[in-house]
Amino acid sequence: MSNTDVAILIPCYNEGLTIGKVVKDCKNATSDIDQQVTVFVYDNNSTDNTVEESLNAGAIVGHVYQQGKGNVVRQMFQDINAKCYVLIDGDDTYSTKSIPNMIRSVLYRRTDMVVGDRLSSSYFSENKRLFHNFGNSLVRFCINSIFHSNIKDVMTGYRAFSYRFVKTFAVLSKGFEIETEMSIVAIENNMLIENQVIDYQDRPEGSTSKLNTYSDGIKVLKKIISLFRNYRPLQFFSLLSIIGIVISIALFIPNVWLPFMKTGLVEKIPTLISCGFLLLISVISYFSGLILDAILKKEEREFEFRLQVVSNSYDKLFKK
């Protein structure tokens, strides 16, 4: 377990071309900060010179052998105690000049998560992958619409966190959907979130993205649906219930009710049975939402107690 005032966390997989520069830039950007700053690089089975470049640049290097960014972030959060955590990618696409402002926001304004907002600056002009641009906009729209939030860049890998967020955040994602999970968990747990516009530049020539536009995009959308179900169960199952009732009525009226009114006979028995089952499933769905919502409210109360435990732990570590 490592203790420091500010931990700069860089998860890496085959970033030997850029990681040395990123580590040095992080150190230079925080040289004037009146806090102990430590740069951690966690390697995720790289086959290039990522580890060597990280060590040469002065980073502390750890290893995570379960493949996936979510697995790396989970291990980082477990291993390191800090007043403030800064998470940044090792591909040299983010300007490290924003790090001091992010740190100040966490330490002095008690922000729980600072979101590095690429989409309000140079992202759309720098990023040459059109589906990435569309995907980022789509995910942002979905999250802000469903969860009534105002996060400017859901998929950014550049963020800063408080100790209490990191130590209460149960990482469930294995891959790149980790950013979506972080955003939704912060929203639903009433954490203080701040958007900070950052400069973005595309990867240098020779550096390749590990993000698969289609497969990882599908994982992110599945994660949104899963978290919507988990954190808004009454809305989720009520929506399914309404859809089921509408379909049931749409099938029942023209196929069963209207012919019955004309002839006094039920001509399509299978349709009647199907409508009945669909209506029953819809009612069960609604009451499932009610039950899960009550369980969620209990979990929210327990979360507040966990926050108190984490706050006490913070005091013991950093307020001696």
pLDDT for the residue numbered 263: 86
Identify the H or E element spanning 225: helix 213-231
pLDDT for the residue numbered 123: 73
* Residue 98 tokens, joined: 């924003």
pLDDT for the residue numbered 31: 92
pLDDT for the residue numbered 212: 66
CA angle 160, 117, 18 (to 5 degrees): 70
The partner residues of 117 in beta bridges, in order of sequence, read 197
Residues 6+ apart with CB under 8 A from 265: 259
How far, in Å, CA of 138 to CA of 229, rounded? Answer: 19
Asked whether the CA dihedral 198, 101, 78, 4 is positive or negative, the reply is: positive
How far, in Å, CA of 201 to CA of 224, rounded? Answer: 27
Helix (H, G, I), strand (E, B) or coil at 243: helix
What string of DSSP letters covers 67-102? -SHHHHHHHHHHHEEEEEEEE--SSS-B-GGGHHHH
Compute CA distances 264 → 248, 272, 280, whole Å. Answer: 21, 14, 25
Nearest to 172 by CA among 74, 252, 26: 74
6, with CB counted inside 10 A (0-12, 13-18, 19+), is buried
Rounded to a whole number of angstroms, the CA Rg of the chain reads 24
pTM of the entire predicted model: 0.85
CATH class name, domain 2-231 = alpha beta
Could you read off the pLDDT tens digit of each residue along the chain, which spans 320 residues?
789 999 999 999 999 999 999 999 999 999 998 899 999 999 999 999 999 999 999 999 999 999 999 999 999 999 999 999 999 999 999 999 999 999 999 999 999 999 999 888 767 666 666 566 777 888 889 899 999 999 999 989 999 999 999 999 999 888 888 999 999 999 999 999 999 999 888 777 766 666 666 777 788 888 889 989 999 999 999 999 999 999 999 999 999 888 888 888 888 889 999 999 999 999 999 999 999 999 999 998 999 999 999 999 998 888 76
Nearest to 95 by CA among 31, 158, 149: 158
- Stated length of the chain: 320
At 121-143, the pLDDT tens digits run 767 666 666 566 777 888 889 89
pLDDT for the residue numbered 274: 93
How far, in Å, CA of 233 to CA of 257, rounded? Answer: 33
CB-hemisphere CA count at 13 Å for 51? 10
